[in-house]
């Protein structure tokens, strides 16, 4: 903090002090709050920041704010009421409904990440607040906190383009009550273009095991009038059939990222009820992605605008040759031919093989396409 003019990026942590003490370093940082631009606060609340509370402090440069707070008290969001440039907020807890209603930056926030695993009424608090969001992340969507359906308000976000869910299931009840489906049911998103769903797979018991809510997503796209251009599914348990049906709902898709688990690394026999992680990037799916030889003579190609593929695959299930045939069928650098068959030319292909290697001859053929202009990345984890 030696420079007296440059904007500051700070990460502040609470220290173990007596109740009547405050941290001198945090106090010094608070004195420079007019220079704060990007701030991360860990386990700090209003009591920990006496230099900011009650003195009419303003944050004229503040653009991003991240609050990680796991205590029982209010996280002190109202401290930042005077922050005219604040656009991005990430928090593990939301304050009370009353404090949210008086939080001046609510209408100017365009990027919001909220943890949904630490309080029951987070969906009620969100309500129709933060109306101008462009990016929304539902983090820690854990099925230990399941609201009643009427406790999740209907929500319309007209400007939201990017939506992300991070799923887990510590209590192993997602097969009975699907929180992802409950949230999606109540959303209307006319501008949605990017969807990311990430499953927590570090421990078998944490894995989200809910049935893929195809009809709910179909209703979302139909009611909202939107179509995805980017889809990222990481370790999500849906079948190849469900994935194909989902892609048919999004003919404008340009970017597709799919990550499978390496099944030998997991023991699902201890999960009750008995859970089988479905095969996703299967021969049927790779055939369906083929630009013309996709098994349905009268059917149009699946996701004809696709230009970027990023796959993480299980070596034991992956068909290298079908993957190659699909890729080369979409490598169409001649514009005239692209127009004729109605499929865009692939620009980028990335494959990460878990538990083995890509067949040598397939990788060599991909490298030939790389020399011709296709961006290629091949990685392995043995």
Which of the two residues, 149 and 188, has the higher pLDDT score? 188
Whole-number pLDDT of residue 119:
72
User: What pLDDT, on a 0 to 100 scale, did the predictor assign at position 280?
Assistant: 97
What pLDDT, on a 0 to 100 scale, did the predictor assign at position 54? 52
Question: What is the number of domains present in the chain?
Answer: 1
Q: Is the pLDDT of residue 145 over 90?
A: no
Is residue 2 a part of any domain in this protein? no
- Give the chain's mean pLDDT: 89
Q: Which pLDDT does position 82 carry in this prediction?
A: 92
- Residue 135, pLDDT above cutoff 80: yes
Residue 63 CB-density burial (10 A; 0-12 exposed, 13-18 middle, 19+ buried): middle
Mean pLDDT of 203-208: 88
Tell me: the pLDDT tens digits for 38-90?
999 887 665 666 666 655 678 999 999 999 877 666 677 888 999 999 999 99
Whole-number pLDDT of residue 230: 99
Q: What are the E-state strand segments in 84-148?
A: 88-91, 111-115, 135-142
pLDDT at 118 > cutoff 90: no
State yes or no: pLDDT of 5 exceeds 90: no
pLDDT the model gives residue 17: 47
Does the pLDDT of residue 91 top 60, yes or no? yes
pLDDT of residue 279: 94
28 versus 53: the higher-pLDDT residue is 28
CB 326 within 8 A of CB 306: no
What is the reported pLDDT for 21?
Answer: 55
Identify whether the C-beta of residue 341 lies closer than 8 Å to the C-beta of residue 292: yes
Residue with token string 């769903």: 197
Could you list the residue range(s) of the whole structural domain that residue 33 is in? 8-381
**Residue 315 three-state SS:** coil
Residue 18 has pLDDT above 60, yes or no: no
Answer yes or no: is 3 within a domain.
no
Highest mean pLDDT among 57-71, 116-130, 156-170, 326-340: 156-170
In-domain check, residue 1: no
Q: pLDDT confidence of 304, banded at 50, 70, 90?
A: very high
Q: What is the CATH number of the domain that holds 147?
A: 3.80.10
Q: CA dihedral defined by 225, 133, 142, 258, rounded to 10 degrees?
A: 60
């Amino acid at each position: 903090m030696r420079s007296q003019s440059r904007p500051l990026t700070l990460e502040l942590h609470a220290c173990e002090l007596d109740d009547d003490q405050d941290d001198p370093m945090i106090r010094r940082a608070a004195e420079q709050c007019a220079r704060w631009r990007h701030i991360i606060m860990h386990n700090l609340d209003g009591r920990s920041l006496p230099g900011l509370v009650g003195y009419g402090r303003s944050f004229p440069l503040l653009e991003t704010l991240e609050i990680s707070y796991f205590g029982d008290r209010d996280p002190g969001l109202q401290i930042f009421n005077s922050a005219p440039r604040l656009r991005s907020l990430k928090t593990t807890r939301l304050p009370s409904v009353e404090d949210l209603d008086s939080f001046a930056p609510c209408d100017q926030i365009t990027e919001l990440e909220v943890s949904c695993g630490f309080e029951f009424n987070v969906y009620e608090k969100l309500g129709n607040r933060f109306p101008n969001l462009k990016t929304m992340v539902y983090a820690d969507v854990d099925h230990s906190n399941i609201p009643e359906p009427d406790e999740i308000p209907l929500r319309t976000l007209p400007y939201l383009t990017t939506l992300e869910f991070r799923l887990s299931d510590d209590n192993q009840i997602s097969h009975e009550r699907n929180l992802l489906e409950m949230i999606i049911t109540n959303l209307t998103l006319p501008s949605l273009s990017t969807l990311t769903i990430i499953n927590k797979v570090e421990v078998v018991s944490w894995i989200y095991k809910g049935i893929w809510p195809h009809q709910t997503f179909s209703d979302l796209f139909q009611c909202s009038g939107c179509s995805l251009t980017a889809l990222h599914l990481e370790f999500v348990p849906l079948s190849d059939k469900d994935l194909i049906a989902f892609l048919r709902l999004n003919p404008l898709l340009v970017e597709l990222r799919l990550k499978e688990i390496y099944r030998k690394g997991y023991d699902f026999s201890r999960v009750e009820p008995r859970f089988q992680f479905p095969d996703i990037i299967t021969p049927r799916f790779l055939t369906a992605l083929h630009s013309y030889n996709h098994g349905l003579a009268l059917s149009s190609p699946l996701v004809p605008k696709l230009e970027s593929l990023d796959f993480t695959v299980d070596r034991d299930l992956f068909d290298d040759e079908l993957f190659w045939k699909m890729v080369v069928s979409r490598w169409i650098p001649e514009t005239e031919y692209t127009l004729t068959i109605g499929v865009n030319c692939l620009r980028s292909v990335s494959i990460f093989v878990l538990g083995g290697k890509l067949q040598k001859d397939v990788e060599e053929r991909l490298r030939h396409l790389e020399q011709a202009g296709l961006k290629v990345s091949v990685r392995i984890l043995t």
